[in-house]
Homo-oligomer: A and B are copies of this chain.
Amino acid sequence: MSGEPRFRRRKADRPAEIVAAALAVFAEKGFAAARLEEIARRAGVSKGALYLYFATKEELFRAVVGQAIAPNVLGLRDMFAQHPGPFRDLLRLVAERLTAAAGAPAFGGVAKMVIGEARNFPELARVWHDELAAQALDALAAAIAAAQARGEVRPGDPRAYALQIAAPLVMGVIWRETFVPVGAPSFDLAALAHQHVETLASGLLQETAR
């Protein structure tokens, strides 16, 4: 009777369902070891159906990166760009956002995948860099430079500072994805973020700003 709209909605959702399944499989296995058959099975479609929406496996990989990036990048960048200060509050926000982003299971998996496959699929590294890593890093560096101009942050390379800020949390995620499955103890990302902010605050900022 009214089966038709449901059917159409399913059809419209197919690409997104496939991308979601591919995200999971790519994050688990990496690009080369991911099997299109498994992606199709998880998406509930046939292998052939994948090719109705994506011309090649690499194309599908691109769609995955794009979809995993989109929700994260704009918010982060804008947050950095528009933050008025004081810088210590921005630090806390960064830590919160990174902790939240890291909580998404996709993030670590895709990050691992990008790192692992960068040399074999440079364009994917380019997308991830241009649309996520560089955007976030540069926006954060700009915010740091602004804070330096306001006298809130010590002199130094703002881009390096940005890396210093983000690296422990990113590494915490990579650690979790890489070593926890083989028995290593995890890091409490929220606690790590909190401690890192404190460390940075008391050392990164000018005496007068403390």
Where the two chains meet, the residues of A that have a C-beta atom closer than 8 Å to any C-beta of B are 28-30, 32-33, 86-88, 91, 112-120, 122-123, 125-126, 128-129, 133-134, 151-154, 156-157, 159-161, 163-164, 166-168, 170-172, 174-175, 177-179, 181-185, 187, 191-192, 195-196, 198-206, 208-210
| Chain B residues in 8 Å Cβ range of A164 | 168, 192, 195-196, 199, 204
Smallest Cβ distance from A62 to chain B, in angstroms?
14
For the complex formed by this chain, how many copies does it contain in all?
Answer: 4
| Chain B residues in 8 Å Cβ range of A153 | 204-206, 209
Which DSSP category, helix, strand, loop or mixed, fits chain A's interface?
helix
From known contacts A153-B204, A195-B157, A204-B201, infer whether A30 and B32 are also in contact, taking CB-CB under 8 Å.
Answer: yes
List 25 A–B pairs whose Cβ atoms lie within 8 Å, in order of A's numbering.
A28-B119, A29-B120, A30-B120, A86-B209, A87-B209, A114-B178, A115-B116, A115-B174, A115-B177, A116-B117, A118-B177, A118-B178, A125-B181, A126-B182, A129-B178, A133-B175, A156-B199, A157-B191, A157-B195, A160-B187, A164-B168, A171-B171, A200-B204, A201-B203, A202-B205
| Chain B residues in 8 Å Cβ range of A116 | 30, 112-113, 115-117
Residues B178 and A125 in contact, CB atoms below 8 Å apart: yes
Q: Give Cα distance in the complex from A167 to B128, angstroms.
A: 20
Of the candidates B154, B167, B208, the one whose C-beta lies within 8 Å of that of A205 is B154
From known contacts A126-B183, A191-B157, infer whether A200 and B199 are also in contact, taking CB-CB under 8 Å.
Answer: yes
Of the candidates B32, B123, B161, B192, the one whose C-beta lies within 8 Å of that of A204 is B161
Q: Give Cα distance in the complex from A176 to B148, angstroms.
A: 26
Q: Give Cα distance in the complex from A111 to B113, angstroms.
A: 13
From known contacts A153-B204, A182-B122, infer whether A199 and B161 are also in contact, taking CB-CB under 8 Å.
Answer: yes
Smallest Cβ distance from A28 to chain B, in angstroms?
5
| Chain B residues in 8 Å Cβ range of A191 | 157, 160
Residues A209 and B122 in contact, CB atoms below 8 Å apart: no
Q: Given A112-B116, A153-B206, A170-B171, output 17 extra A-B contacts at Cβ < 8 Å.
A: A29-B120, A30-B30, A30-B119, A32-B33, A112-B115, A112-B118, A115-B115, A115-B174, A118-B179, A129-B182, A151-B206, A152-B206, A161-B199, A163-B168, A163-B175, A163-B192, A201-B210
